[in-house]
A and B are shown apart, each in its own frame.
Chain A
């Protein structure tokens, strides 16, 4: 099993902590999901979110702070430093938004910030597109994990470009790959795992569902199913039927 900067994840679900109806429901969702990682935002309200951050620490899972809402390298680097102090971790989910409506990552600034942070000892989880060249640049900048989007953040559209995501998996067979953003349904999460991705990161699909605790469990089951399916070497799709029993020698009944 691939590790994330040396840390293996028994449950390859990374679950966000934003937008839940209450901290109590957030807690239930985490229990039901078995998520191995909690992502948490530091962008807003530097220093004053202590109570909430403590609740996140109390979930007792790995914490992956993020730079959500940052639009420049400088903001992202500052936020990463703050995250390292607050959560005492080298992990940082690097998110640099380039477009307000699609929340598409600004990959140029992303590569630059990834280089600065990697050189500074951070273990960077970059939120990127499915562009292979950008992926190469991020690895060259020091990243050891890539997190391509499935679809824009919060859109719930699933894997918009399966071809590109397959290509990415094929291009980086040894690199832990995480589908980050765009998951709306458990079937999307299963799909990501069936393609051989190593983990799935999601938030809105659980937090904004009608029953976050139930949806968290659905995601857990789907991710398990998808991973098992990938390991079981699924059959290839084909154009014609392939009977599962021999056709020759059967009696003609009509």
Chain B
């Protein structure tokens, strides 16, 4: 029986392994970084399953393929189906109208409904509620996938994959760049804060012309604030400017965030192709699955299905842009 070697145990690699195993294939996983952790950009994700909101600034496949995510993840990890709330300060209402024009499947909500949804969100007169969206805890999701795969007999090798493997599936993100020339890194910066004084139960997006913010609840008063999008490939530091913008946006959402404890500062590079859409490429004996950009958890299920279609059934999904065996 063919053994598929998935290289890279970030969200792309683990989702591919999980989908292959679910379809009855035999899989092993290589990641020289060890168990899921801060060395991979999946660790720093928001974990929003928000295809309708993302459509504001993404192309149609993100909307369509992203809708596969909630059910796929719900079979594997805890998914919170509580929707997304989008708000803007009064002076930025043109941004809220623009957001509404570019997206679909939401309810317009007023001040009372906003407070009803999230009692700690005062002072916003208008918002959009995307009730079909969901979120998950990305780190928990990675750990759950790893554990499930191990329970199903998948071997994890915490070493660099040997070269010349047959049936390799390269999911290394930006580290696969030497083989994927059109891949680039897009810097993202995020903060994890603890603020038990504020209770938010669903992802909130605060629109702003210069510094849009999202905040995702992780439970127990812990929140992830994100995330900048900078066309830069320096993942070594967060700038004071970015930190200032993230925190002042959170403060604008609820001044009690001013008392929050900063737990973590994350900086990493999202792997992206020029159109910011994921790709599957078969070059020789290796299938490359990459370019999830800012949609790691949203599009990993679709990417995994596309890889399994190609690997097991030789079917070409729309993400396959090159096949040279």
Q: Interface on A for B, CB 8 Å cutoff?
A: 21-25, 27, 44-45, 47-52, 55, 154, 208, 210
Contacts and interface: CB of A to CB of B under 8 A. Distances in A.
Contacts of A45: 187, 230-232, 234, 239
B261 interface: no
A85 to B, nearest CB: 17
Given A21-B57, A52-B184, A47 B275 contact: no
A48 B274 contact: no
20 contacts: A21-B57, A22-B59, A22-B272, A24-B276, A44-B239, A44-B241, A45-B232, A45-B234, A45-B239, A47-B234, A48-B187, A48-B232, A49-B232, A50-B233, A51-B184, A51-B231, A51-B233, A52-B232, A55-B274, A210-B102
Contacts of B232: 44-45, 48-49, 52
Contacts of B187: 45, 48
Interface in B54-109: 57-59, 98, 101-102
Contacts of A51: 184-185, 231, 233
Nearest to B232: A45
Contact of B59 (A21, A47, A55, A154): A21
A65 to B, nearest CB: 14
A154 B209 contact: yes
Interface of B: 57-59, 98, 101-102, 184-185, 187, 209, 230-234, 239, 241, 272, 274-277
Q: Which 6 A-B pairs have the closest CB atoms?
A: A48-B234, A45-B232, A52-B231, A24-B275, A22-B276, A48-B232
A218 B98 CA distance: 19
B230 A44 contact: yes
A21 B276 contact: yes
A25, A44, A208, most chain B CB atoms within 10 A: A44
A86 to B, nearest CB: 13
Contacts of A210: 101-102
A50 B101 CA distance: 34
A44 to B, nearest CB: 6
Nearest to B269: A48
A44 B229 CA distance: 11
A22 B275 contact: yes
A47 B233 CA distance: 9
A208 B275 CA distance: 16
A72 to B, nearest CB: 14
Contacts of B274: 22-24, 27, 55
A202 B92 CA distance: 21
A40 B271 CA distance: 22
Contact of A25 (B184, B234, B275): B275
A48 B101 contact: no
Contacts of A208: 98
B59, B101, B231, B272, most chain A CB atoms within 10 A: B231
A21 B272 CA distance: 12
A22 B274 CA distance: 6
A81 to B, nearest CB: 19
Nearest to B242: A44
A119 B58 CA distance: 45
Contacts of B101: 210
A211 to B, nearest CB: 10
A52 B185 CA distance: 9
Nearest to A26: B274
B293 to A, nearest CB: 9
Contacts of A52: 184, 231-232
A61 to B, nearest CB: 18
B101, B230, B277, most chain A CB atoms within 10 A: B230
A244 B14 CA distance: 75
Nearest to B94: A156
Nearest to A208: B98
Nearest to B98: A208
Contacts of A154: 209
Contacts of B58: 21
A5 B98 CA distance: 39
Contacts of A44: 230, 232, 239, 241
A44 B186 CA distance: 13
A51 B184 CA distance: 7
Nearest to A48: B234
Given A23-B184, A45-B232, 6 more contacts: A44-B241, A48-B232, A48-B234, A49-B232, A51-B184, A52-B232
Contacts of A50: 233
Contacts of B234: 45, 47-48
